[in-house]
Amino acid sequence: MAVKIGTVVHVNDLMQTAYSYELSAPMGKEFDPSFTPAFSPKEMLEYGVFEGKYCNDCRDEFPKNWFTKAKLSDAPAPSVNCFGIKSRQSLQVWQDKGWIISPDPRGWFQWYCRYYMGRRIPDVDSKQIKRWRAFTRHLAQVKIGCDPLDFNCRPRQRQGLLQWSYDPFI
């Protein structure tokens, strides 16, 4: 897939059909100044996020090279996660809590993948960036509660940080 400004991405997977969006920013650039993720979606997938069970049926939407070294699984596998622990809630929980913001039925990471590729929807972007910024409380808790580089300390929070593109390797 060509990822450049003006490309129209057509989505047709198990969770979303007949949805299209246009890329209006260069991939990985021109982010809101308050949004400074530590990792690209490709890097996150390579480290191991969401128990390897995130992009199974929607890979065609994203660049193929995002998946060449990605840690993926057909079924949720905590061992695939960077910190080797279960750290995700079901999509049903996200839906019940109102954490899914349209037009991204898979949640924050799907929004981030699309944003990273260059999709911009100002209202949606501002809501998701606000949610991302609120996640810094977990970074502060790891910094306060753990010795530097003690990755056995708070592994669940560290995995969560990675899944929100914060650096858990502190």
Say yes or no to pLDDT of 139 above 90: yes
Residues 23 and 57: their CA atoms lie apart, in Å, by 21
pLDDT for residue 54 is more than 90? no
Check pLDDT > 80 for residue 2: no
Q: What is the phi-psi region of residue 41: left when phi exceeds 0, alpha when psi lies from -120 to 50, beta otherwise?
A: alpha
Q: Mean pLDDT in the chain?
A: 94
The residues spanned by each domain of the chain are 8-135
Task: Determine the residue type at 57.
Answer: D
Q: How does residue 108 score in pLDDT terms, banded at 50, 70 and 90?
A: very high
How many CB atoms neighbour CB 90 within 10 A? 9
Angstrom CA distances, 120 to 1, 13, 57, 123, 127, stand at 18, 21, 23, 9, 12
Decide which of 102 and 2 is more confident: 102
pLDDT at 160: 96
pLDDT value for 95:
86
Cα dihedral sign, 103-75-90-54:
negative
Q: What single letter denotes the amino acid at residue 8?
A: V
What mean pLDDT is predicted for residues 71-86? Answer: 93
Look up the pTM and report it: 0.95
